[in-house]
Chain A
Amino acid sequence: MSDILIDDAPQPQAVKGRSLWEDARRRLMRNPAAVTSLYVVAILVLIAVFGPVLWVHKYDTIFRDSVAIAPTWKNMHLLGTDTEGRDMVARLILGLGISMLVGLAATVVALTIGVLWGAIAGFIGGWLDDAMMRFVDVLYAIPFVFFVIVLMTVVQFDDPVLNLVLIFCAIGAVEWLTMARIVRGQTLSLRQKEFVEAARAAGAKPLQIVLRHIVPNVVGPVVVFATLNIPVIILAESFLSFIGLGVQEPLTSLGSLLSYGKDQMTTAPWMLIAPAVTMLITLLALNFLGDGLRDALDPKER
């Protein structure tokens, strides 16, 4: 082909490029399960944030004359009261909030450590990569429970809020291992991909390659992992509550509500059903959202 031909050819109208994120957003919006889940999660967050202010009862007010009563319109105990005589709706709202907070904060801790660890190991490579990943291997082979119990007992605060922060850190400090492996694997394989090669050949600077080509491809799995990790952490927190290392009274979480509820299962089933249904809805929504995000962010689906 001669140069003249190209010059004469009609210049294509500048196509407005759609960014990766715009693309992913569109794909996500086409997935009904994911969209519904997105709304459900948003509503749950709103309930958890504004519920404690709006609801008529406080989570730690004790009604001595109505202990463990079934759901009733009287005095607005819509989900009944617990064995201490506290309103179940108020406890449920608080529990939902704390479970979500634990899930989110622990995921942020895990994400920060994991992404940094994995990216450094993957980028620098060599003996440092070996050493860092052997370290992860060793920690992997130590049971989760052991870690959390040790971490939770090394430092103990009397203040329930500080204790809560400790739970985040303890769980996050365990969950980062998987993240580090994912990010390292991604970084390693991306470094050798053709499109990185192509970008390099086109004269892109290393920083540009990292930001425009590697990061968008790592962010996908990271976001998916984070979304799917929140349910895992909420479940882990419920396990901690079960062994008595969870949130301290009078605060509560979905896990500790379930733990109490199952003991009253035959006499006061509403104390189990309400938190169980809430947990089911929350985790279902987060899981569907995570799956939807995975499909939306998968570069192969484009």
Chain B
Amino acid sequence: MLAQAVRRLALAIPTLLAIVAAAFVLMHLAPGGPFTKERQVPPEIERRLEAEYGLDLPIGQQLLRYLVGDEGRGGLIRGDLGPSMTYKDKNVGEIIAEGAPTSAILGFSAMALALVIGTFLGVIAALRQNKGQDYLVMAFAIAGVCLPPLVVGPIMQLFFGVEWQLLPTAGLHRDEYGLRYLILPVFTLSLPIIAVVSRLMRASMIEALRSNAIRTARAKGLPERQVIWRHALPIAMLPIVSYAGPALAAVMSGSFVIETVFALPGIGKQFVLAAQQRDYTLVMGVVLIYSFLIILLNLAADLTYRALDPRSRTA
């Protein structure tokens, strides 16, 4: 298992390189650049600016420069993500270091909350298949994916924040991650994930309960609670493990809507603004983080899958 993990990590390097190259080229295909603004800059100055950031070079050379750097700049291989093209006094590394913790905390908490609630709801629905509780849980689950966070967020702010004065509606208190400030954004972010997890859980739990392993466990005379939580749950968790890996990468690399609605300083907001303003280096930085998380968490999901799947234990 360890050997395979090492091999997969080694394979990740060429994959990451391919992603960087693909994103880099795509990004530069889009018309306009970071210095084409509404306020017209004299063309001479624009050219000087572009030369300063190496934007006048052919695309291949720009990519090479981004990867290995040149005099004065480290390049990606030395961990230098380059200077931002819209925040003149900041490096991409610094911008991401400021925003990433917020996005990561939000995403991770939302996923954790969704896994707990979603699993629980899914198991209940599966045990009461085609009965009242099942329909209730599933109606809630489907409704969870039917309203986008850009609507749910403001509604929660209105009720919990303005009408009932229970929770703060936006921001962070003195830039600290106080629990009260995280409840609404985390819950809003986790609603769609709860919906997906509980649906997956319901389907795979129903299947698991029909399996021979569970029939054996029941035949042995184990108490029903133990059959469900100790024997059926690990089997039923498998599809959720494969879902949760990439989904965690997606929520941890920031959500534009949540960060905008709740005025939180994360990288999701930075990323969308950067893409619209053609801040090439900042966009590449966030893409890189996302891709890295995807690869890492997919690997983690596969390893967890193996650990949980009883069939792979003897192999």
Chain A residues at the B interface, C-beta cutoff of 8 Å: 134, 137-143, 145-147, 149-150, 153-154, 156, 231, 235, 238-239, 242-243, 255, 258-259, 261-262, 265-266, 272, 276, 279-280, 283-284, 287-288
5 pairs of residues in contact across A and B, judged by CB atoms under 8 Å: A146-B283, A146-B287, A235-B148, A258-B148, A262-B151
| Inter-chain pairs besides A146-B271, A154-B31, A243-B272, 14 sampled, C-beta below 8 Å | A134-B15, A134-B18, A139-B22, A141-B290, A142-B22, A143-B253, A143-B287, A145-B271, A154-B30, A238-B148, A262-B154, A276-B151, A284-B143, A287-B142
**Count of CB-CB pairs between chains A and B under 8 Å:** 108
Closest 6 CB pairs of A and B: A283-B146, A141-B291, A149-B275, A262-B154, A153-B30, A141-B294
Q: Which residues of B contact A276 (CB under 8 A)?
A: 147, 151
In the complex, what residue of chain A is closest to B246 when comparing beta carbons?
A140
Q: How many of B's residues come within 8 Å of A, CB to CB? A: 40
1/0 contact string of B4-19 vs chain A (CB within 8 Å): 0000000000010011
Which residues of A sit under 8 angstroms from B271, Cβ to Cβ? 143, 145-146
Q: Which of A139, A231, A239, A266 contacts B145 (CB 8 A)?
A: A231
Residues from chain B with Cβ under 8 Å of A262 in the complex: 150-151, 154
A166 to B276, CA, bound (A): 17
Bound Cα distance from A272 to B245, whole angstroms: 34
Q: Is B155 an interface residue (CB 8 A)?
A: yes
B95 interface residue per 8 A CB criterion:
no
Q: Mark B27-57, 1 if CB is under 8 A from A, else 0.
A: 1011110000000000000000000000000
Q: Does B257 contact A (CB under 8 A)?
A: yes
Question: Which chain B positions have C-beta within 8 A of A265?
Answer: 154-155, 158
Which of B148, B253, B276 is A149 in contact with, Cβ under 8 Å? B276
Q: Which residue of A lies closest to B293 (CB)?
A: A141
Instruction: Verify if B295 is at the interface (C-beta below 8 Å from A).
Output: yes
Query: In the complex, which of the residues B22, B26, B29, B146 contacts A280, with contact meaning CB atoms closer than 8 Å?
Result: B146
Inter-chain CA distance A255–B246, complex, in Å, is 26
Partner of B287, one of A137, A142, A259, A288: A142
Q: Say yes or no: A150 contacts B30, CB within 8 Å.
A: yes
Judge whether B23 is part of the interface by a CB distance below 8 angstroms. yes
Contact between B148 and A255, CB atoms less than 8 A apart: yes
Closest to B16 in A: A141
CB neighbours of A134 from chain B (8 A)? 15, 18
Q: Are A288 and B142 in contact (CB under 8 A)?
A: yes
